[in-house]
Each structure stands twice: as structure tokens, then as C-alpha cells.
Structure 1
Amino acid sequence: MVQNEIDWDAANAELASHGRGGIDAKTARRSSDPRRSAKRDSAGWVNDIGDPPPGIAKETLSPEILDQLRLSSITGVGPRIMATLLERFGSASEVFRGDTDAIVSVPGIGPKLYNEIKLESRGYDLDAVVHWCMNHDTQILVKDQSPYPTMLDDLVDAPPILFCRGELLPEDDIAVAIVGTRHATSYGLKQAERIAYSLARAGVTVVSGLARGIDAAAHEGALSGGGRTIAVLGGGLAQMYPPEHGGLAKAIAADGAVLSEHPPMTKTKGGLFPQRNRIVAGLSMATLVIEAPDRSGSLITARLAGEQNREVMSLPGPVSSRVSRGCNQLIRDGATLVQSVDDILEALGPMRSPVETSDGNQVHRPSELKLNEIERKVLDAIETTSTSIDQVIQTCELPTHQVIAIISVLEMKRLVQRMSGQNVCRI
């Protein structure tokens, strides 16, 4: 397997993180940005793309973050063991101070792993990891500390550490994963890009795995739509795979994020992809599968999404197409059939908590993202408790007939429901 390795000791340029404005502003910015028109190649991941902010200096990391890095680096300490240790001891520093009986009493830890912890028998060079992050503008995100994504809280084996190039924003909680085969047809590639573009235009973040085929088309579609996209790698950030996606990764990090749970030098290998898939599903309110044969890894992502109580969706394909068999089977088994972005937004339920979008609106359901200005105004005037239509009319200062018509539209979009009398409430 060919790797595009980065020389750790080389003074490579850091990757700049750029702020995000509204959709229209970003689209205009991208259209005039020479970085967007440059050919994306494998070297793009390490090329300078502007004046970068300073990287992470080791002294700026809190002692607890460094201790969590130390703990996660120990051979045999995976996400579940680490979560159990942190829950039992309260912090990584207390784990290292713990006595033999206390540590060995933790489920899953025997004498051998205890010795690994006490000896700090590491699977990687901690100083080298921090040095690489410092020199490549890479954030080290620690679970339960912002900006670690709260969408991963539902995972029983959520990664304790994430390495991030780019930036995660609160609005990334409104996200849909698009996954599929690496050996996509022209139909599949076109549909992945079309749907990702439409999701981006609606303000939904697109999540995928940066693989060849459907993944890459989804990222490209989101970028073309002027929206945000998140790529989750199977290996480390210093090991771009596939190597030709370095330029695409750079473009994603400029207005989104590229993530990995593994130290930067970790080489990509087959066994890491199922681990990656749980993060792709976990970051997303729904997972959409576009072209997947019977044993596609994308079906693993769909299964993991279902296990996490997230929506599973599928784009239908010809019954004669080998790469659509998995998709058609998902639909047969109950996945939501998707033909357009409206199917996705309508199927998504309420957010766990309202999310503020880049234009300042509080979104309770993803389907609200496609409302026009007047529809938004009427919806904002309706409470989650019974609200009289007269009160809505008075608040909006709109003609009665217009408010009633818009309420009917919102009702069809399943955003409001009529109550007894002349009352409505927000769902």
C-alpha cells in the first residue's frame, strides 16, 4: 500500500484554518479564491495555503491533556479501557498516581496491562506526536472538552483523543454522512456530488471518509456548494491515503475539518477502516449510502449508524447493478429511500439541543434550514407550547391570510401542529 509520508523533522508549512461566514459569502469567496481553482494533488496536504496561525506549543497543553495523551499512547489502552479508567479515577493524572489494587480492580485490566501503564510502555513517541501537531497546525481534541464533537457522546467506544486539522463548529452537529463504494459508477458519483452540494447549500455539514469513489465525490460536492465538510481518516494525519487526495484534504481543512483518532504517523491499513466508520456514523444525524455491493464497508457504517439510533438512508439503484445491491437491500430492510435532499431533511428528527447557524438562526430541526425568510419569521413566533394564531399574526406583523397560509406550509413540513381552537405549537 503506497503511503504519502511526511518527514517529521522537515520544516513543512502549517495548514491555515480559515473562518466561516454565511453560505453566500463563502460561495463568493470560493469562486474568487485561487486555492479553489488550483489542481488538487498529493502535495497539497503539506503546501502552504496562506499565513498560518501558530501551531500548538507543548507548553500550551494542559497537564491533563498531556496525561491523557500519555495514557492513550500506552499499548493495550483502547477507547473503552481509557473511558473506564477516567470514570473510575476522575482524571488521567490520577490514573498514573493510582495504586496497584485500584488499577487492577478496573474491569479489563490485568497484571500485564497494569505493568504497561506503570511502565508507560508506549505504542508511539509522545514527544514526536506533540512536535508534529505543533508544526502542522493540528489541534488535539480531548473527549468532554470543547471543541470535541458532542455528537460522539453516544458512542460507547468514543475516541478519547482526536487529532484535527481545520476547525469544528457547533453547527457541525447538523451533519449527514455520505458513504459508498470506492468503485463507483458515473451515476453514483454524480448523485453523491449532487446530494452533497444540496446539503451544503442548505447548511448541513457533509461527513465522509476521504476514500476514492463516493466519499471523494461527497466532499467535492459539499465544497462546490460552499458548505462545510468533515473527513475522517483511517490512518494518521501525516499518512495521507489515498495519496492523490492530499489537495482535497487541504481544501476540506480550510473550511471544515480533517480528523483522525490515531497519532499522525499511523499508517493506513485495512483493520482501521471499521474503526473509522464508527466515527463517521457517530458525527452524523443520518448516514446515506450511495452505491454499495453486498459486502461493502459502507454497510458497516450503516449498521453502526443504526446501532447508534441514527437515521439510515439509501439511494436506490438498478436491480441489475452489482454496486447497488447493498443499497437496495438496506431499503428493503427499512432504510429511508432518498431521491433528493428534501427526503433527507424531512426524515431527520429534532436536534438534541438547538444549534445556531452562521446566519444567527436557532435551528431545532434540520428541515428548518430550507425555510425562506418569511417562513422563518412565522415559525419563530410560534412557541413549543400552545400559541394562538392571533398572537402569531400580531408578532409577525403580516396579513392574516399570509400567516395562515404559511402555518399550513409549516404544518406540511411537520414543523408545527394545530391545537384545539385557533392555536398552534412548534414541534
Structure 2
Amino acid sequence: MSTDTHHQIALTLVPGVGSILIRQLISYCGSANDVFRSPLSRLIKIPGIGEVTARAILKPNVLTEAEVVMKRVEKMGASVLFYTDKAYPSRLKSLYDAPALLYFQGSGGLNAPRTIGLVGTRQATDYGRRITSEIIEAITPYGANVISGLAYGIDIAAHRTSLANGLPTVGVMASGLDIIYPNVHQKTAQEMLVLGGLLTESPPGTKPDAHLFPARNRIIAGLSDAVVVVEAAAKGGALITAEYANNYHREVFAVPGQLNQAFSAGCNKLIRENKAQIYTSPKDIIEALNWDLSDNPVNKKQTSSKAPFVLPNDITDEESQIVALLRQAADLHIDELSWQSQIPMGRLASLLLNLEFRGFVRSLPGKKYAVVYV
């Protein structure tokens, strides 16, 4: 691993420095290397840093600890992904609270064209496991990457059914890559490395403490085009994941259940509060994400043979950039469009609405957009 990686890891080990402050430091200093080369007087002047944090950055033990972490990661054959790297998950790049650095082990990719998050209670019922299998079997022809948390219940059912169907699956962990939790899922975790992998923002040696699970849930939500809550109690991690997914403009589905069942209470609550669409069949997910259209050969052939609108002279540079990006792809999620264009989400939404009113782009299910053809 490079010197850059060494310093990138070190930044994540500085007490009081989270992902947002790391981005702030990089934007002012230029690189992780430059952060550690900067004098105290310069670091103090960076907004949000202050003298205490600046002195913590310059302590030599941070770089020493980072070297230990780097050697452990290399020994495991894992990868370190910084938010500026090309291999860093594109779905996370536009999220303000995304991890600045991730550790990944496996042969699968994190930028699959289609992803779906499946989460739920640790005490899954036969009904929940059956619905999980139903969803995975239906999405298998689309080659979607299945994201979950490697926990008991719905999570492990999602991972194992994915493996049985030959689908790549990624387990997002609340611990270091070397600590599989729960330990009884070691064999499944090992099997996942072949097609998918294991992902975490925690360095090796990190134990799965309670406060790390909500943070883990935001990564599951961010990596997913849609999150399906299969079974959930009135409170719990699955509902936290759904909340993050809503904040990230992801599609959210909840599987309805019997009114007197404890592990249907959370799903029914999401539906009642309009925080999730009701799941009635896999078709709901496939149509919402537009997978059925994008995989239709007839539709592809017709689309490619049509000429796009000629853009008028009064179109702005930003609007022209948006149209150009959409012409290069069949469709793009608004988060991906924001990342590629580097246009803030609020302004991008306004520009897209204007382009849609003028008939140059159209909105698709799943927060995606495409160029209009005539």
C-alpha cells in the first residue's frame, strides 16, 4: 500500500475527527499526506478543527497506529478505499455523512449496476425467510448485488439465499474485517468473499460495540438502490436503515404482516407513516427501479434508434452537462448524477425539474432520470 493510504488511515484514527472533518482537511490541504505535513498554525485555521484536534493530528502515535492497521489489512488481502478513489462506492460519494474510508475484503465489486438492501429482525419467522427467498429468486435474472448486515435472522437469510442463487452479496459489518459477528456466520462470510465480500469502516481489531450498528446501517442504505424491510419490531436497526434510506432518496419497501405479530409492527408502522411503499410482490421492486424496462431488448433497440432533442441556445452550461451525462447512460440515479456533475443535490433537483418541464429529460421510478427521445 502507498504512503497516501498510510496517511488516509491515520486521519480516521485521530480522536474527534470524523468523515466530515476529514473531507474538510483534504479540501484545505489537498491530500492526506499534506495534512500531516501542515504546521500547527495552518491546521488551527481550518474551520471546525481547532487547537486540540490540530495537536492530535500531529501526534506521531497516530501514524504509528496507522502503520499497524495497514500491515493487518495487507495480511488479510483486503483493500482500503478512500472517498477520492475510483473504486470507492459511487453510490456513497454524494452522501454528506458517508465514510471517508472503507475496508473491503472479497472479489466482488461495490459499484454493481443494480443493488438491493434486504434487512429485518434477528428473530425471523418462516414467513420472513420465505419472503426473503421470494425476492432474491425474482431478482436473480437481473444480477443485482444483495446488501445486508450479516446479522441473525433476515440478514443471514438474504446472504445465504443469494449465494444459493449465484448472486453477489455484500455484508456490511459493525466490526473490523477480522471479527465476524456473530461468530457462527464465519462459514457464510467466507463463502461471500467469492462473489461479493465484506465491508466496514472500522479498522481490524474493532469489536462490534452497540454504537457502531446504526453507523453500519447508513452504509447499507447508501449502497442500495432500494431497501426492503422484511420483518421488524416497532424499534430496531431495520427501521434505522429505512430512515437513512429515505434521507438518501432511496426507494423503501416494507413487507406487511399480521397485526398481532411483534415483528410485523415495524413494517406496518413504516407503511402507515408513508415512509415505505407496501411490498406485495417482487414486481413492485423491479418496476419501481425500472429494471424491467432497462432489460427489455425491444425497448433498448427502439431507444438507440431515436434522435435526441436538439438543445436550444439558451440552455445553461449546467443543463447541457446534465443532458450530456444522461445521453452517455441509459439512465442515472440522481445521486450518481450529482456525483458525476459535481452539482449540489438541491440545485440539481431544480435543474432537472426545469429540463423535465421543457421536455428534455424524464423522471423514472427509483429517483432515476433519462434523456427524452423523439
- SS of structure 1 residue aligned to 2:58: helix
- 1:340 equivalenced with 2:265 (yes/no): no
- 1:282 equivalenced with 2:222 (yes/no): yes
The aligned residue for residue 368 of structure 1 is: 293
**For residues 212 and 84 of structure 1, do their structure 2 counterparts lie closer, same or farther at Cα, with a shift above 3 Å needed?**
same
Q: What is the number of equivalent residue pairs in this alignment?
A: 316
Deviation digits for residues 63-100 of structure 1 (CA, Å, limit 9, x no counterpart): 22221112222222211111111111111111112222
2:18 to 78, 82, 96: 78
**1:336 alignment partner AA:** Q
1:113 is displaced (CA, Å) by 1.4
2:33 to 89, 93, 97: 93
- 1:135 equivalenced with 2:75 (yes/no): yes
**2:282 alignment partner AA:** V
- 2: CA distance between counterparts of 1:426 and 1:229? 35
The aligned residue for residue 176 of structure 2 is: 236
Within 5 Å, which residues of 2 pair with 1:22-61?
61=1
- 2: CA distance between counterparts of 1:137 and 1:300? 32
The aligned residue for residue 219 of structure 1 is: 159
**1:293 alignment partner AA:** A
Answer whether contact 2:293 2:299 (CA < 8 A) is retained. no
- 1: CA distance between counterparts of 2:93 and 2:137? 28
- 1: CA distance between counterparts of 2:120 and 2:65? 35
When the two structures are superposed, what TM-score results if normalisation uses the length of structure 1?
A: 0.69
**1:246 alignment partner AA:** Q
Moved more, 220-229 or 237-246: 220-229
Answer whether contact 1:151 1:173 (CA < 8 A) is retained. no
Answer whether contact 1:193 1:220 (CA < 8 A) is retained. no
**2:287 alignment partner AA:** E
- 2: CA distance between counterparts of 1:173 and 1:192? 21
Structure with higher Rg: it is 1
Within 5 Å, which residues of 2 pair with 1:183-198?
183-198=123-138
Within 5 Å, which residues of 2 pair with 1:132-171?
132-169=72-109
Unaligned runs of 5+ in 2: 311-363
Moved more, 98-107 or 157-166: 98-107
1:108 is displaced (CA, Å) by 2.7
Answer whether contact 2:10 2:65 (CA < 8 A) is retained. no
**For residues 244 and 112 of structure 1, do their structure 2 counterparts lie closer, same or farther at Cα, with a shift above 3 Å needed?**
same
- 1: CA distance between counterparts of 2:365 and 2:219? 30
1:381 is displaced (CA, Å) by 3.7
**For residues 124 and 172 of structure 1, do their structure 2 counterparts lie closer, same or farther at Cα, with a shift above 3 Å needed?**
farther
**1:221 alignment partner AA:** T
The aligned residue for residue 109 of structure 1 is: 49
**For residues 63 and 184 of structure 1, do their structure 2 counterparts lie closer, same or farther at Cα, with a shift above 3 Å needed?**
same
- 1:270 equivalenced with 2:210 (yes/no): yes
- 2: CA distance between counterparts of 1:77 and 1:296? 27
**For residues 231 and 385 of structure 1, do their structure 2 counterparts lie closer, same or farther at Cα, with a shift above 3 Å needed?**
farther
Answer whether contact 1:75 1:123 (CA < 8 A) is retained. no
Unaligned runs of 5+ in 1: 1-60, 349-364, 387-412, 416-423
- SS of structure 2 residue aligned to 1:194: helix
The aligned residue for residue 352 of structure 2 is: none
- 1: CA distance between counterparts of 2:64 and 2:244? 29
Answer whether contact 1:316 1:328 (CA < 8 A) is retained. yes
When the two structures are superposed, what TM-score results if normalisation uses the length of structure 2?
A: 0.78
Answer whether contact 2:6 2:70 (CA < 8 A) is retained. no
The aligned residue for residue 181 of structure 1 is: 121
The aligned residue for residue 66 of structure 1 is: 6
Within 5 Å, which residues of 2 pair with 1:372-387?
373-374=297-298, 376-382=300-306, 385=309
**2:55 alignment partner AA:** N
- 2: CA distance between counterparts of 1:167 and 1:66? 23
Moved more, 175-184 or 161-170: 161-170
Deviation digits for residues 201-234 of structure 1 (CA, Å, limit 9, x no counterpart): 3221111111010011111222222211111001
The aligned residue for residue 341 of structure 2 is: none
**What's the C-alpha RMSD, in Å, of the aligned pairs?**
2.4
- SS of structure 2 residue aligned to 1:240: coil
Answer whether contact 2:294 2:300 (CA < 8 A) is retained. no
- SS of structure 2 residue aligned to 1:258: strand
- SS of structure 2 residue aligned to 1:183: coil
- 2: CA distance between counterparts of 1:384 and 1:338? 36
Deviation digits for residues 164-190 of structure 1 (CA, Å, limit 9, x no counterpart): 111343752421111101011110011
Which structure shows the bigger proportion of residues in helix conformation?
2
Percent pairwise identity = 34
Answer whether contact 2:116 2:226 (CA < 8 A) is retained. yes
- 2: CA distance between counterparts of 1:113 and 1:72? 12
Q: Which has the higher contact order (CA 8 A, sep 6+)?
A: 1
1:379 is displaced (CA, Å) by 4.7
**1:233 alignment partner AA:** M
Deviation digits for residues 336-371 of structure 1 (CA, Å, limit 9, x no counterpart): 1112222112112xxxxxxxxxxxxxxxx4333553
- 2: CA distance between counterparts of 1:241 and 1:159? 20
